[in-house]
Structure 1
Amino acid sequence: MSALNQSGDSDSSEKTRIVIIGGEAAGMSAAAKARRAAKNATIVVFEQSDVISFGACGLPYYVGDFFSDAKEMSEFTPEQFAARGVDVRIRHQVLNIDTDQQVVHARNLETGETVQQSYDQLMIATGAEPIVPPVTGLAELLNNNRTFCVKTMNDGLRLKEVISSPEIKDVVVIGAGYIGLEMAEALIRQKKTVRLIENAPLPLAATFDSEVAELVMGALTADGMQCHWQELVQAVSETGDKRLQISTDKGDYSADLIVLCTGVKPNTRFIQSLDLEFMPNGAIVTDSQGRTRIPNIFAAGDCATVVHGQLKKPVWIPLATYANKMGRLIGEVMAGSDKAFPGAYGAACVKVLGLEAGRVGLSEKEALEANLDYQTVVIKDKDHTSYYPGQSDILVKLVYETGSKKLLGGQIAGGRGAVLRVDAIAAAIKGGLTTDDLGMMDFCYAPPFSRTWDVLNVAGNVAR
């Protein structure tokens, strides 16, 4: 194994050949770290699009005019990485991987030429692709500039251009997950009439418990959005007046535009023939170093699993935080380090029309599925003192072990600043703390920020 230099990076003296498939968060984090850690390595990145280091999380905010320069969503360019000694080949589609000969076969989409690249270490970081549900007429309409997925830079550029037209007034958003809710807010900000259709009974049903999801639902309806819960879209079609008709199991609706936010799936179809271990949805199963079961092949980002810090098993959580962290770690491991990822705790958050919601650790649903002996406590309080302007409601739910009272998870919803309290719960879970510890935790107090007993203190003290 390579020795570490004074900066903590490994310094490989061999001419290691590192190939990375995918040039977004995980792939470019790995390339950057590997370049620093293994200064003699050759590093080649294949990226199918012409954009690298792209963060799709910014798309709703770009569409909603929270910022105007789309380039801010792409942190680095291929030229900048080339200056560092990383060979980034944009517009190259990987066709297959010969794991016996350790060769990647790719096609240059500009010239049609097929190229081969040998590797000593290979990383798959191909991200995820939108799920297009089997709705009659939907797939045929995706390229007509009236029906959009929201995943790539080009998706955002096209959608923003289209909605700038005054002819686009009524928009249907299908799906009430993170992106669906953020897109709904962005479109309201653009003065559109928004109808939200979701098959589940509540928004964010896959990740939040009902106490928080109900508050999110209330925030949506309070702002005048037309929301349809437990409603299944069955068909979409164009009408003679350049409008779209959306037919569900409960009714028909007309719109000028559809935004499809029905989730994503790992982009791994091109490697399904490899002897990798896959989850049912196609995610590549990896260990705490990002290794797959094929020697010298790693995977990270939305196409792969991470190891859960509490459940101690691979889980699929497609978030940018894990893509960046696992990418950085794999870059070090490919350069000779023996570091391992300490575990994911499912920390996630969203802002919905003035309401913030965040979660970390195990939800009650997850604790139940894991057959844990647990208790919960739900507290409704205020975020700061009543005599300082702007006081708002805040809700905290804790999940904790019966008997030991060890914290297992937490969810929070409230006004500005509510989500930041989730970070304190994350640290408490990681540290193995109990609700009693949380009840006496030394949190900052001043009238603009908290009460003398912060809501987290109160929740910890009420837990029995």
Structure 2
Amino acid sequence: MKIVVIGGGAAGLGVAGAAKGQDPSVETVVYTEFEDVAYSPCGIPFVHGKEIDSFERLFLATKEQYVQQGIDVHYETTVESIDLKSKSIQVKGEGWVTYDRLVLATGWDYATPDVPGTDLEGIYHVKNIRAAMEWDKYLDTVRQAVVVESGPIAMEMVSALRHRGIEVTLVDPGPWPMADVIDPDIVEPVRADWEADGVDLRFNEKVTGFVGKGGKLTHATTSFGDVPCQLAVIGSHKVANAGLARAAGIKLGSTGGIAVDPQMRTSDPHVYAAGDCAEIPHGVSNVPLQGLSGSHAYAQGKTAGINAAGGRRTHNPVYVPWGMLAGQWMIGGVSFGETLATALGLPFVTGVANGITRARYYPGVKPITVKLLVDPRSRRLIGAQMVGGEGIKERADFLGIVARTGVPIDTLATMENVYSPAIGALNEPIAMAAQAAVAKL
């Protein structure tokens, strides 16, 4: 059997590795338009900010290791079209290539603002690691930068640019950072720290264009006036890179991502899709989602690879535990906050607790706020949001399982927790927040 994969990110390499694990005799061929595969784009802002000392640390494996695993990767190669009837793809420079199973892992693109001047030198989309290496040198020449919208990577880039001593103006049409995901009370410590660090925060405003001289960016035009800058970081939301699928007649979903079943199979029985190009149902609302994290993409790729190679695996609806570092704060959660749950018309009761991450007397103790959203009828957790100095990732993972398995809020309110001065306080903030929700119920 020959499995062809289009895309070399977390999903694409997850497909190839899982297919080989399921059936070592399977021939796996990966096509990518980039110079590399399987690196972490999420780590790029931290190299720019000097927290990580080298871009090389972001690579998961060497090219030789993929050869040793029997995975044939075609770098800097463009797939131009798909012919479902003949089960073949047209590859630039190679002609038509046949497959037994095809997996689309074509990833995502930024929703680039539809404004003049986006072709100027100085407009930066944080994604490709080789381009980032060149941009890192360019940052040494930048005095002023504009960050356009506060998507997750853009949030990290604000801090990275400030670490480099660059003046930053954040322009966002929302009323607060990541307003479509995070509640204002949870993100407020981040906003306050940015303001104290000299970031010019412009919410409820828009970039209307980019202006340059000699092909180089000199300033951005905005709804509040001109902003001098030599760099503009595009931080808009992800859109599915589904053009090949659309042109081939493969069904797309409501998000613009490729529609798949629980086995990651598309509308064509010989074609699978995984990662940011696909859409997955949410476990609470059943609303399709697209553009999740690298861990989601990798898990989807493994499911698609196992099934394409003759195995049987089901990908569950997602509850989306998430987390990130923004300045000195960790923020994260599960599924919905109040803003999004209200927009979707979901009934909920909240429980909020302010706690600490270690014993109050132990060095390095950090504050943490936990907000839980509970369905008042089923008494199940439907969402959570958190902000703190540490411990957000582990709590988000735990609460993701709580939401997925339907643990009642009453059980969460009486949960056992580790108490050790160096790693955990006497009162667990999750339990405290659950108790607050139970009191309301």
State TM-score, norm by structure 1: 0.89
Give the structure 2 partner of residue 92 of structure 1. 77
Report matched runs for 1:378-417 at 5 Å.
378-417=352-391
Instruction: Answer whether contact 2:245 2:258 (CA < 8 A) is retained.
Output: no
Residue 318 (structure 1) shift = 2.7
Give the structure 1 partner of residue 231 of structure 2. 257
Give the structure 1 partner of residue 115 of structure 2. 135
| Matching of residue 150 in structure 1 with residue 126 in structure 2 | yes
Give the Cα separation in 2 of the matches to 1:189 and 1:79: 35
Report matched runs for 1:56-205 at 5 Å.
56-107=41-92, 113-137=93-117, 139-141=118-120, 144=121, 146-165=122-141, 168-205=142-179
Distance 1:419 1:33, change over 3 A: closer
| Partner SS for 2:127 | coil
Residue 281 (structure 1) shift = 4.7
Give the Cα separation in 2 of the matches to 1:371 and 1:200: 20
Tell me which moved more, 98-107 or 451-460. 451-460
Q: Which amino acid aligns with 1:136?
A: P
Instruction: Answer whether contact 1:148 1:155 (CA < 8 A) is retained.
Output: no
Distance 1:241 1:374, change over 3 A: closer
Q: Runs of 5+ in structure 2 lacking a partner?
A: none
Instruction: Answer whether contact 1:283 1:304 (CA < 8 A) is retained.
Output: yes
Give the Cα separation in 1 of the matches to 2:228 and 2:201: 14
Give the Cα separation in 2 of the matches to 1:241 and 1:283: 34
Residue 455 (structure 1) shift = 1.0
Residue 366 (structure 1) shift = 4.0
Q: Which amino acid aligns with 1:425?
A: L
Residue 191 (structure 1) shift = 1.8
Residue 385 (structure 1) shift = 3.2
Give the Cα separation in 1 of the matches to 2:135 and 2:155: 16
Distance 1:317 1:311, change over 3 A: farther
Structure number with higher relative contact order (C-alpha < 8 Å, ≥ 6 residues apart): 2
Tell me which moved more, 26-35 or 390-399. 390-399
Give the Cα separation in 2 of the matches to 1:237 and 1:117: 44
Instruction: Answer whether contact 1:399 1:408 (CA < 8 A) is retained.
Output: yes
Residues matched between the structures, number: 438
Give the structure 1 partner of residue 36 of structure 2. 51
Residue 418 (structure 1) shift = 3.4
Give the structure 1 partner of residue 218 of structure 2. 244
Residue 200 (structure 1) shift = 0.8
Distance 1:335 1:192, change over 3 A: same
> Out of 34, 37, 51, which is 2:22 matched to?
37
Residue 370 (structure 1) shift = 4.6
Residue 233 (structure 1) shift = 0.6
| Partner SS for 2:276 | coil
Residues 349-388 of structure 1, C-alpha deviation per residue, up to 9 Å, x if partnerless? 1111111101113333443455433211222233333322
Residues 190-228 of structure 1, C-alpha deviation per residue, up to 9 Å, x if partnerless? 122222111111101121122213333223213222111
Give the Cα separation in 1 of the matches to 2:96 and 2:233: 38
Q: Runs of 5+ in structure 1 lacking a partner?
A: 1-15, 108-112
Residue 445 (structure 1) shift = 0.9
Distance 1:242 1:24, change over 3 A: closer
Give the structure 2 partner of residue 11 of structure 1. none
Instruction: Answer whether contact 2:194 2:327 (CA < 8 A) is retained.
Output: yes
Instruction: Answer whether contact 2:173 2:204 (CA < 8 A) is retained.
Output: yes
Q: How much is the aligned-residue C-alpha RMSD, in angstroms?
A: 2.0
Give the Cα separation in 2 of the matches to 1:354 and 1:362: 23
Q: Which amino acid aligns with 2:97?
A: Q
| Matching of residue 214 in structure 1 with residue 188 in structure 2 | yes
4+ aligned runs moved over 4 Å, structure 1: 239-243
